[in-house]
Amino acid sequence: MRCEIIGVGTELLLGQIVNTNAAWIGQRLADVGWDCLRHTVVGDNTQRIAETITEALGRADAVILTGGLGPTQDDVTREALAAVAGVELVRQPELEAWLRERFAGMGVQRMAEMNLRQADVPQGARTIDNPRGTAPGLIMEIGGKPAYAVPGVPREMEGMLERVVLPDLAARAGEGRAIVSRTLRTAGVGESRLAERLTPLWEEAGAGQVTMAYLASPGEVRVRLTAVGATREEALAEIAPVETRIREELGEIVYGTDDETLEAAVGRLLGERGLTLATAESLTGGLLGGRITGIPGASDYYLGGVVAYATAAKASQLGVDQALLDADGPVSEPVAAAMAAGARTTLGADLGLAATGVAGPTEQSGRRVGTLCLAVADAAGTTTRTLTAPGDRTQVRLWTASVALDLLRRRLEGLA
């Protein structure tokens, strides 16, 4: 069973809003046994939306539209669905009453009459209740295939899909089909080098029932394995031997699976060992601390951090010897080690993690853009690394945060 997703809104085409809805829906479709065939974005134009719906239904077994159900003149998804089905829009008295009650409940003394456009429904369509907003969703059979229209507001869209759309799609797919993905998370090796190492396994997997894909981000690569089975357990059984082979090939660069991020893996390891952490950051300017504290419960193990961006701050805030700064420069392994030790001492933590480097756009103290010096310090000593990050200033900073967390992860696992 194949489904297409259509995002409606000129703001999506102009890049003013990122279409996160399509990613969320694509993930959830697999859970109910549907393949996502294509994502399409179309502007606020009735004819173009209608043409896009018609084309999608010509390829797929179902269509989900997000957006264009609001009260203003540019919200024309209802009109487009009616045009494709060859029917009229009909004002629903019960929806009109619901809208008036809804606005009154929100304390609105006078509802704009334009809001009643949301009570217009293509003839023959069913509505989906929207407890989180004022735009009802729609389900319409067109040529024996369902078209679902839901608001573009993620919170409203997700509620409608979870309560109505996904259960309806699951019932249409029937039993006996599950699409399951398993993701192995890696850090410290680039996408092309990783793919080169896994090429034999890629070819073997392609000959079987498991597909592989690489999802790269700064400093990390996810390897996604997907299989189709009669049940979730059967699909996972297909994936298991391929996963084992990948783990054998990649070894310690695999740090987690599925939704476990690097910062979550580090937090888990710190919690298991009953250890605390402090950070010292220069070029990352707080990115490390931000990622660490993004994990619920981080206060159990993260004591805090020092952002010592200027060279002088490394001496005054972290106690780095000025003579060391003068001799080796602020971007060096000895200074990174002193920063990690300083953070550990200043905040009374078991471990200190430090990152210093050159984010760009120009060289610093003779060091090239992208040069990173990292350090982890604990009671047993200090581990340091010098690396070169690719990309522009933003990518260098993001890359640094990832490889610094991975160095800490390796230290906690006894690998560094």
> What does the pLDDT look like over 265-314, one tens digit per residue?
999 999 999 999 999 999 999 999 999 999 999 999 999 999 999 999 99
- Domain 2-173 sits in which CATH superfamily? MoaB/Mog-like domain (3.40.980.10)
Q: 3-class SS at 151?
A: coil
Compute the distance between CA of residue 318 and CA of residue 341 in angstroms, rounded to an integer.
Answer: 8
Compute the distance between CA of residue 53 and CA of residue 149 in angstroms, rounded to an integer.
Answer: 11
Compute the distance between CA of residue 176 and CA of residue 133 in angstroms, rounded to an integer.
Answer: 36
User: Quick check: do 2-173 and 262-412 share a fold?
Assistant: no
The pLDDT of residue 231: 83
Please state the rounded mean pLDDT for residues 321-326. 96
Q: Does the pLDDT value for residue 206 go beyond 70?
A: no
The pLDDT of residue 366: 86
Q: Does the pLDDT value for residue 358 go beyond 80?
A: yes
What CATH class does 262-412 carry? Answer: alpha beta
Angle, helices 46-59 vs 77-85, to 10°: value is: 60
Instruction: Indicate the domain borders of the chain.
Output: 2-173, 178-257, 262-412
pTM of the model: 0.74
Burial of 170 per CB tally in 10 Å (0-12, 13-18, 19+):
middle
Lowest mean pLDDT among 92-96, 104-108, 395-399: 104-108
Interval 59-78: pLDDT, tens: 999 999 999 999 999 999 99
Please state the rounded mean pLDDT for residues 235-257. 94
Topology of 178-257 in CATH? Answer: Alpha-Beta Plaits (3.30.70)
**207 band by pLDDT with thresholds 50, 70 and 90:** low
Q: Give the β-pairing of 351-357 and 371-378.
A: antiparallel
Compute the distance between CA of residue 158 and CA of residue 167 in angstroms, rounded to an integer.
Answer: 13
Please state the rounded mean pLDDT for residues 125-137. 93
